[in-house]
Amino acid sequence: MEIKEMNIFQKMEGITEKLNRVAKNLQVGIGQSSYKAVGEADVLAEVKPVEVEFGVYSYPVKRDVIYSNEFTTTTEYKGETKEKLTMFMRIKTIYRFVNVDKPDEYIEVETFGDGVDTQDKAPGKAMTYADKYALLKAYKIETGDDPDQNASQQMNKIPQKKLVLNEELVAEASKLGIMLSKVATYYKKSVGELTNEELAEAIKMKKENASK
């Protein structure tokens, strides 16, 4: 069948079959608190040419801020106290995939993104996260990471224990004076619900504030 004769579902299926796995090449944070993530540039580099080939245009058609908050962090250096304003924003995005040859045909995906920044980049980070994962999930792109499989392996090794925060991250947070209860409150969770990524982000922010 000619590509131009395909409906939007057939085109999306064709794109999914042709796309390769996108590796986690983006290094987030430094030291023991760092972790690997999928970069937006890597996702777009893989997706855009194939979308053009199949005649699909994708874009965020609607965004809603579902939660936004600002808080002040205080640091002390050589007896001097400094305060810095930090913003957290959670955005819901409706991402649309349009059949260019039949513009009335489209598929929409609902996705979410969080952004945290000490300046004015929180909205951009949230939008980037939401858009990136809309593409990853809509086209079923592999990233080389299976959270369910990893958790199962850990449980097989230590079935008598619950999965908890990384001990090294907790120790580093303690040295920096970061209270887990405050981090949990920030994310609207209990301490037991915190993830390593959230704690790593709190450590990163603390270090950035201390260096300024």
Start-to-end CA distance of the chain, whole Å, equals 60
CA distance 26 to 128: 14
Instruction: Write out the H or E segment, with its range, that includes residue 90.
Output: strand 80-99
How many CB atoms within 10 Å of residue 61? 13
Give the Å distances, CA to CA, from 202 to 88, 89, 177. 12, 15, 11
Return the pLDDT at 91: 93
pTM value > 0.85: no
CA distance 23 to 210: 32
Q: What is the CATH number of domain 1-141?
A: 3.30.390
* Cβ within 8 Å of residue 170, ≥6 positions away: 180, 199
How many CB atoms within 10 Å of residue 114? 17
CA distance 83 to 62: 35
Q: Which residue has the tokens 């608190």?
A: 33
Taking only the tens of pLDDT, the chain with its 212 residues reads 899 999 999 999 999 999 988 877 776 655 655 667 788 999 999 999 999 999 999 999 999 998 888 777 676 777 787 777 788 889 999 999 999 999 999 999 999 999 888 777 889 999 999 999 999 999 999 886 555 554 444 434 433 333 356 767 777 877 788 887 788 788 887 666 778 888 888 888 888 887 76
Rounded (10°) CA dihedral 70, 136, 48, 93: -40
Domain boundaries, the chain: 1-141, 146-212
Return the pLDDT at 130: 95
Nearest CA-CA partner of 61 in 89, 97, 91: 97
Return the pLDDT at 159: 39
